Amino acid sequence: MAPNRLLLILGCALLPLVLIALMMGPVFISPASLLHALLQALGGTGEGRVTSQDGLILFSIRFPRVLLAGLVGVCLAVCGTAMQGLFRNPLADPSLIGVSSGASAGASLMIVLGGGALLEGGQFAGLSVVALGAFAGGFLAVILVYRLATSSTGTSVATMLLAGIAISALAGALNSLLSFVADDEMLRRISLWQMGSLDAANWPRVWIAAAAVAVVMLLLPREGAALNAFLLGESEARHLGIAVDAVKRRLILMTAMAIGISVAVAGTISFVGLIVPHIIRLLIGPDHRYLIPASALAGAMLLIVADAFARVVVAPAELPAGILTALLGTPFFLSLLAQKRRVGEG
Amino acid sequence: MSLSAHNLSLSLSGTPLLNAIDLDVLPGKISTVLGPNGAGKTSLLRVLVGELAPDTGSVTLNGRALQECPAIQRARTLAVLPQHSLLNFPFTAAEVVMLGRTPHATGIAHDREVVAQALQAVDGDYLANRIYTQLSGGEKQRVHLARVLAQIWESSPDGERYLVLDEPTSSFDLAHQHLTLEVVRSLADKGVGVLMVIHDLNLAARCSDQMFLMQCGNMVISGTPQEVLQRETISRVFQVDASIGVHPLSGTPLVIT
């Protein structure tokens, strides 16, 4: 498929998808009611511009939630693309550099140490203490991995891979230890948190995630040519005039920041970072100049759809979105693999 | 103007690999590095292109210390073809060759033209839209040859151009071995300085202007093929008895073992 065509298709499909997702939920909102609320919000002035029940649901619950799903999807997919390029491995994903397990450990620590009181009351800029713990844990793990792999001669990707495994194991052990000492209520919180869910969406979280997406989508596409050259190998990239170590540092920092934030606002949602770049690469090839924007759009769409289903399949209860990303993405991915236009994909 | 090594020494974890090597790659000339396995040929190449830092000595590119050249300028004047490539992503062959244009900002239309010409030069136009990962070993190597050709295809305002190749003919059949040498010769005729590591002495004899013969990290002798390919030298360095004849067509030395 021509890359521009895929970008066009994805771009056109995003808006209808968002609108459909806005209607879906325990309370179904009809298209007419959605249109009415949107027009009211656009045209209205002053306070109380949206008064209907549907409008309230839309603007205080659905909108933040759908937007957050889209933004987190962008972060996960785009950072997955960057990591697969950096590690020259189509099986890499952001969890490889320790960010997911670090965040899990950070969140568990807050759940166990904080206990009930802190969980209910402790808020900072719309983020719970648990979310802050997750961000700190994820970021700390990545910085540690990066430090371990960096010497006077530069950063070794191979060492980074090993350090990532080691730090992940360490964080995993810490996580298990915390689960062991936790009581039943904490244990349930920990395991639910690890499945990832968007049910805590609110406007402050949307703005934080939007800031992360803005930074990543502004900076990462500039590394497209460098990432393409990276696929040849580091020495070759250097011979092509790429400042290899500076690129690596920027990619790692961006990933730590974006994934740290997305984990903080939505928990660990696996699979998107691994599978979305993969799917796009099967469709349009590995050129990062197209791969990055296309993955961003597809990542947003996958998570929006997964979260919409998460809200309705067991309504009024909810499934964690992380379960659904895997359930929805896998069949699609497998069917693509079966057709496999570009054989030889590592 | 040249790509030059001055008094290079290198040792890795106590083992000396290079010992006081001097070498000049001159624009418009083809130089070859010869020697038995473990003589330090690849180490020398890696130091020359800046992949390894020497313990002592220095490398200069067009009169400037290599480490002080800005990365882009270096990439526009020095292209390197490694022996093996790690690439395992399904680019098309033309996309791989296009990567050679990374350091240039000449516009996509012009880059496409260069890519087509470079592919044609390596007898690879029919590969352009094939998926790289599905190609044979020899085809892959030709695609990479086209990539480094595309990198230094046109003369650069940044200085004379150089091409360094590590055993470029090792995975080629006879026809493509000779094609490679023709490509390299026509590049040299356009003013590019070429340095190759090559194992086949006769192939080297036919294409070299200048030969560097190495053994155990030392430069044994350098000079024209006639000067280097002497019977005593060959038997001393390669430990085989050889007779030296003359190629009936090219008049270059012919090593018969």
* Distance from C-alpha of A341 to C-alpha of A81, rounded to nearest angstrom: 20
* B140 interfaces chain A, CB cutoff of 8 Å: no
**Chain A residue with minimal CA distance to B79?**
A239
CATH number of the CATH domain containing B181: 3.40.50.300
CB contact B71 to A (< 8 Å): yes
* Dihedrals phi, psi of A250, to nearest 5 degrees: -65, -45
What residues of A are in contact with residue B90 (Cβ under 8 Å)? 281, 285-286, 342-345
**Which of B216, B217, B218, B198 lies closest to B208 in space, CA to CA?**
B198
Token pair belonging to B34: 């010869």
Does the distance separating the beta carbons of B89 and A281 come in below 8 Å? yes
Choose among B87, B124, B117: nearest CA to A236.
Answer: B87
Cβ-Cβ contacts under 8 Å, B102 against chain A: 225, 228-229, 240-242
A235 CB neighbours in chain B (<8 A) are 51, 80, 82
A241 to B91: CB separation less than 8 angstroms, yes or no: no
Question: Per-residue pLDDT for A124 more than 60?
Answer: no
Query: What's the mean per-residue pLDDT of chain A?
Result: 86
Residue B122, CB half-sphere, CA atoms under 13 Å: how many?
30
> In terms of CA atoms, which chain B residue is nearest residue A85?
B89
**Could you tell me the CA-to-CA distances from A106 to A268, B156, B170 in Å, in that order?**
12, 53, 53
3-state DSSP call for residue A318? coil
Interface test with B, best of A240, A244, A345 (most B CBs within 10 A): A240
Distance from CA of B96 to the nearest CA of A (A): 9
* CB neighbourhood size of A195 (10 A): 16
Nearest-CA distance B59 → chain A (Å): 15
What domain range is B130 assigned to?
Answer: 3-256
Closest by CA position to B162, among listed B57, B73, B44, B101: B73
List of chain A residues whose C-beta atoms are within 8 Å of the C-beta of residue B49: 239
Q: Which residues pair with B34 in a beta bridge?
A: B213
- Of residues A306, A299, A312, the one with CA closest to residue A328: A306
Instruction: Please give the pLDDT value at position A51.
Output: 64
What are B11's strand-pairing partners?
B16
User: Is pLDDT at A236 greater than 90 in this prediction?
Assistant: yes
Q: Which residue of B has its CA nearest to A239?
A: B75
H helix intervals, chain B:
41-48, 71-77, 93-99, 108-121, 137-151, 174-189, 201-207, 225-228, 231-238
* Whole-angstrom distance, CA of residue B200 vs CA of residue B178: 12
Q: Which of A295, A210, A300, A319 is nearest to A17 (CA)?
A: A300
- What value does the mean pLDDT take over residues A72-80? 95
Q: For testing the chain A interface, which of B87, B89, B99 should be mutated: the one with the most A CBs within 10 Å?
A: B89
Size of interface A-B (CB pairs under 8 A): 80
* Cβ neighbours of B131 in A, within 8 Å: 342-344
Token reading at A282: 């099967």
Do the chains contact at A233 and B85, CB–CB below 8 Å?
yes
Q: Which residue has the higher pLDDT, A287 or A185?
A: A287
Torsion of CA B201, B202, B207, B212, to 10 degrees: 20
Q: Which two tokens stand for residue B186?
A: 């026509």
Query: Quick one: pLDDT at residue A39?
Result: 82
Q: Judge: B88–A281 Cβ closer than 8 Å, yes or no.
A: no
Nearest Cβ partner for A241 among B88, B103, B131 = B103
Q: Kindly indicate the confidence band of residue A47, based on its pLDDT and cuts at 50, 70 and 90.
A: very low
Does pLDDT of A52 surpass 70? yes
* B136 CB within 8 Å of a chain A CB: no
Which pairing describes strands B243-246 and B64-65: parallel, antiparallel, or unpaired?
Answer: unpaired
Instruction: Report pLDDT digits (tens) over B209-229.
Output: 999 999 999 999 999 999 999
pLDDT of residue A221: 94
What's the pLDDT score for residue B144?
Answer: 95
Residues in A touching B141 (Cβ below 8 Å) = none
Q: Which residues contact A167 (CB under 8 A, 6 or more apart)?
A: A98, A101, A102, A141, A144, A145, A148
CA distance A84 to chain B (A): 10
Phi, psi of A282, rounded to the nearest 5 degrees: -65, -30
Segment A210-226 shows an average pLDDT of 95
Q: What is the dihedral of CA A326, A327, A333, A334, to 10 degrees?
A: 120
- pLDDT score for B60: 94
Q: Which residues of A touch B89 (CB under 8 A)?
A: 88, 90, 231, 281, 286, 345-346
User: What's the domain count of chain B?
Assistant: 1
Of A81, A138, A84, nearest to A108 by C-alpha is A138
* pLDDT at res. B104: 92
Instruction: Transcribe A73-129 into DSSP letters.
Output: HHHHHHHHHHHHHHTT-TT--GGGGTHHHHHHHHHHHHHHHHHHHHHHH-EETTEEH
CA–CA min distance A156, chain B (Å): 14
pLDDT less than 50: residues of chain B:
none
pLDDT of B47 reads 93
More confidently predicted of A36 and A67: A67
Find, among A142, A82, A46, the residue nearest to A299 by Cα: A82
CB–CB contact B95 A235 (8 Å): no
Rounded to whole angstroms, how far apart are CA atoms B101 and B120? 16
CB contact under 8 A, B92 and A90: no
> Of chain B residues 22-61, which have a CB less than 8 A from chain A?
49-51
Least-confidence region, from A40-44, A92-96, A109-113, B180-184: A40-44
Percent of chain A past pLDDT 90, that is, above it, reads 43
Distance CA B232, CA B238 (A): 10
* pLDDT value at residue B183: 92
Encode pLDDT of A246-279 as tens digits. Answer: 999 999 999 999 998 998 888 888 788 988 998 8
Task: Using the CB atoms, write b or e for A52-78: b if 16+ within 10 Å.
Answer: eebbebbbebbbbbbbbbbbbbbbbbb
Search chain B and give the residue with CA nearest A234: B86
The reply to whether residue B102 touches residue A242, judged by beta carbons under 8 angstroms, is: yes
Please name which of B160, B48, B196 lies closest in space to residue A235, comparing C-alpha atoms.
B48
Residue A344 has pLDDT above 50, yes or no: no
Q: Cα distance from B192 to chain A (closest Cα, Å)?
A: 17
